[in-house]
Amino acid sequence: MIKLSVCIPVYNFDVRELVNALKKEIVKRNLSAEIILIDDSSEVFFVSLNSEIQHVVDGFILLKENIGRSKIRNLFLKHAQGQYFLFLDCDGKLIQECFLENYFNFILRNPDCTSIYGGRKVSLLPPNQSYFLRWKFAVERENISLEKRKKNPYLSFQTNNFVIKKEILEKILFNEAYTNYGYEDLLFAMDLKSENVIINHIENPILNNDVETNEVYLEKVKESVDSLSSMLKYGVVRERLSSIKLVKTFIAFDFFPFNFLIIFLFKFSSDFLERKLLKGNQSLRYLDLYKLGMLFKLMK
C-alpha cells in the first residue's frame, strides 16, 4: 500500500485551515497519509495558534533557529515515513475535496512516476492596489495552464505543491548552500533534470492564500535576485540555471561594453523602477528590467 507524507514547512502563518482540510479528506476517503509540520522558528503568536492542531497532525516539530527553505525540506526525511512526500507551502488552501486522492490515483495509474507537480492558482478577483504587484505576477507568470507546463516541465516547476518519491529526495537533496529566498525551486528542478528524473504535471492546483503587499514582495524580489547572483558564481549551478529567461538575458549581455552600460543605466533608473513597481498596477516589464539591472549590479 502506498503511504503519502504531507510535508508542510511553516513560517509565521496560520496553517489550521489547511491542516484541517487535509485531515478531513484523509479521514473521509480513508487514505494512507500522514501530516508532518516543521516550524522554522516562527513568532510565538503563530506557534501558539498552530499548537491547537497538534492532535490533528502526525508530527509537529519546532525548530529553535530558522534554517531556511532548502534545509527544512530536506529535514522531512528524518521525520516522514511515507514512500512519497507531498510538499505544500504553508499559505496554501485546498480548493477541491479530492486533492490528495488525485495524487494517489495518478501514482496508482503511473507506478513508475517519481515526481509530480500539481500547479497553483490565486484568486481571479484583483486585490487592493497596494497588494497588486504580487497578485499580478502570480496571474501572469505563475498560474500556468497544464498544457504550457507540460511543454516546459522543469522551468514551470514550483515547490508549493509537488510530490516526490522519498528515495529520489534521498539522492537529490535541496541545495542547502543557499539559505535565502529565491530560485531554490528551479535549481532543484534542474538538479532533477540532470539526473534524468521526469517531472510529471497534472491539474491538481492549490490556492495561494497569502497575497503580499507591494513593499513586501519587492523586498522578496531583491532577496531572490541576490540569491540568484550567489548561485551564478558557481559553474555547475550557472549551467543548470542557464535556461531561465533572466539568466539567459544576463549571459547574452554580460560582456563589455553592454554590462557596464546596463549597470550605469540601472544606477540612475532603479529608484524610478521601484516607484513604478510599488504602485502595483504596472507592466511586469518594469519588474523584468529591475531584476536584470540588479543582477548585473550584484555580479559586477
Give the pLDDT confidence of 6-65 residue by residue, as tens digits: 999 999 999 999 999 999 999 999 999 999 999 999 999 999 999 999 999 999 999 999
| Rounded Cα–Cα distance for residues 188 and 115 (Å) | 12
| Rounded Cα–Cα distance for residues 293 and 266 (Å) | 5
Order of strands across the sheet that contains 200-201? 59-62, 33-39, 4-10, 84-88, 161-165, 115-117, 200-201
94 CB neighbour count, 10 Å cutoff: 20
pLDDT of residue 300: 84
Regions in the chain scoring below 50 on pLDDT: none
17 CB neighbour count, 10 Å cutoff: 13
pLDDT of residue 112: 95
- Helices then strands, counting H and E runs in the chain, come out as 13, 10
Name the residue type at position 111: P
- Burial 258-267, CB ≥16 within 10 A → b, else e: eeeebbeebe
- What's the maximum distance between 2 C-alpha atoms anywhere in the chain? 64
Give the list of residues 6+ apart from residue 66 with CB closer than 8 angstroms, or none: 11, 40, 41
Give the list of residues 6+ apart from residue 124 with CB closer than 8 angstroms, or none: 139
* Nearest one of 37, 211, 218 to 126, comparing CA atoms: 211
Give the list of residues 6+ apart from residue 230 with CB closer than 8 angstroms, or none: 178, 180
| Rounded Cα–Cα distance for residues 102 and 111 (Å) | 14
pLDDT of residue 251: 94
